[in-house]
Amino acid sequence: MRVLILGGDGYLGWPTAMYFAARGHEVRTIDNYLRRTLAQQTQSEALMPNPNLPDRAAIFRSVSDLDITVDIGDVADYRTLSRIFQEFQPEAVIHYAEQPSGPYSMIGYDEARLTLNNNLNTTFNVIWAVLEHAPDCQIVKIGTMGEYGTPNIDIEEGWLEVEHKGRKQKFLYPRQAGSLYHTTKVLDTDLLWFYVRTFGIRVTDLMQGPVYGLSTEEADLDERLLPNFHYDDIFGTVVNRFLVQAVAGVPLTVYGKGGQVRGYLNLIDTMQCVYLAATKPAGRGELRILNQFTETFTVNELAEKVREAGKEVGLDVQVKSIDNPRKEPEEHYYNPAHSGLLELGLQPHYMTTEVLVGMLEKVMRYKDQIDTRKIMPRVRWK
Ligand code: USQ
């Protein structure tokens, strides 16, 4: 398959490019280094150094003999995307080309505007490039479990049948996101649904929970192929942050009461999910929505798991509740469905002590690089 990966420099984009290449697909990727630039502007650089995208592709070629074609360019620029679609004629496009951070989107007007413009423009351009140049190409879009928020009823996979005054209709499941970033994902889903039902494009929208992990089979071939691993308050996700805090000897930063529940998954499982979605595609005129996580935990449970794993490697991990910088329920009902990807063949890798210990050992090698000024929350929802 010809697979085009948008946002190929990212935490998920780069390992995905290697994953598809290693399985015999022709991979082309595009990135404008937006996340690298924003991370630099906000003093939120990743823990390990990451060579630029052409260099990473060259290193990957030298260890695997596999090619990944790289374009440095902006998916929000339609002429660039259009040209690549015409040249490459992708059969699947994996769309990660978005500003990925909730906290970044809540800094102020400029950051909110950038997030809104970038995320909606890239999605809109992907839809139009498919319509104009590759109508049978399927779109695999990374959405977020955060689109649903934390409603007081069970969360379904994308759709809800509503009965009203004796009549029934299936609608997109009600969404109520907790940051402007998460709200752009809701708007993306609405855009995609309009073009699916009106023009018959093929879309899988993956509602993903927070991801953790820093290795995949391909990334482990050479340390320079590791995904960019953030532990700061803006681009770092909670499990990755907690592991770095444990190594740095900083008490784990539980926001508020710590009863917030989310659905988590290992980076390796993100690879599997995206691969399954692309190789077992949605039909024409189908918006297939799958909830992408393997297990749910409260923040307190995560902290406890990291504490346990820390003990195994001789770390005395402290946990401390701090004032919650976000507006979010800290105790709530949470029961999301997630059978779709399992039915497609997902084999979950769970968050065992062994997995966390493996991550801690890797992070410990970079202990000297940890900048503790990046750990405490700098962005408040106000
Ligand atoms: N949290 C803490 N302490 C921390 C960091 C986070 O208690 O030091 C809490 C947050 O308040 C939240 C939960 O942990 O309740 C998850 O936070 P997160 O920063 O790991 O995840 P979030 O901001 O929701 O965003 C991440 C990714 C985003 C993805 C989303 C999936 O950055 O791209 O869409 O996870 S989900 O959370 O299901 O919406």
pLDDT digits 0-9 by tens, 191-224: 999 999 999 999 999 999 999 999 999 999 999 9
Residue whose CA is at the smallest distance from ligand 1 atom 23? 102
Q: Find out whether 96 and 6 touch, Cβ atoms under 8 Å.
A: yes
- Cα radius of gyration rounded to whole Å, the chain: 20
Q: Among residues 141, 185, 305, 374, which one is catalytic? A: 185
Question: CB count, 10 Å around CB of 337?
Answer: 13
User: Ligand 1 pocket: which of 99, 235, 238, 245 to mutate (most atoms <8 Å of CB)?
Assistant: 238
For the 2-374 domain, the top CATH level (class) is alpha beta
Q: Residue 260 Cα, ligand 1 centroid: separation in angstroms? A: 10
User: Ligand 1 pocket: which of 42, 99, 144, 205 to mutate (most atoms <8 Å of CB)?
Assistant: 144
Tokens of 137: 């190409």
Residue whose CA is at the smallest distance from ligand 1 atom 10? 255
**Percent of the residues in the chain that have a pLDDT greater than 90, as a whole number:** 99
Give the tens place of pLDDT for each residue, 253-304.
999 999 999 999 999 999 999 999 999 999 999 999 999 999 999 999 999 9
Question: Residue 31 gets which letter from DSSP?
Answer: E
Q: Is the pLDDT of residue 108 over 90?
A: yes
Q: SS in 3 state form for 238-255?
A: HHHHHHHHHHHCCCEEEE
Question: Residue 369 gets which letter from DSSP?
Answer: G
Active site residue 264: no
pLDDT band at 100 (very low <50, low <70, confident <90, very high): very high
| Cα 157 to Cα 333: distance, rounded to the nearest angstrom | 17
Mean pLDDT score across all residues of the chain: 98
| Cα 282 to Cα 119: distance, rounded to the nearest angstrom | 22
Q: Find out whether 217 and 210 touch, Cβ atoms under 8 Å.
A: no
Q: Where are the domains of the chain?
A: 2-374
Task: Tell which residue, 83, 59, 208, has the closest CA to residue 144.
Answer: 208
| Cα 130 to Cα 134: distance, rounded to the nearest angstrom | 5
Q: Find out whether 310 and 317 touch, Cβ atoms under 8 Å.
A: yes
Q: Find out whether 3 and 90 touch, Cβ atoms under 8 Å.
A: yes
Tokens of 198: 């009106």
Give the tens place of pLDDT for each residue, 62-92.
999 999 999 999 999 999 999 999 999 999 9
Q: Say which residue the tokens 């779109």 belong to.
A: 139
Strand partners, 205: 141, 289
What is the structure's pLDDT at 382?
Answer: 85
Q: Find out whether 202 and 44 touch, Cβ atoms under 8 Å.
A: no
Q: What is the pTM of this model?
A: 0.97
H helix or E strand, kind and range, residue 206: strand 202-208
Task: Tell which residue, 210, 209, 214, has the closest CA to residue 356.
Answer: 214
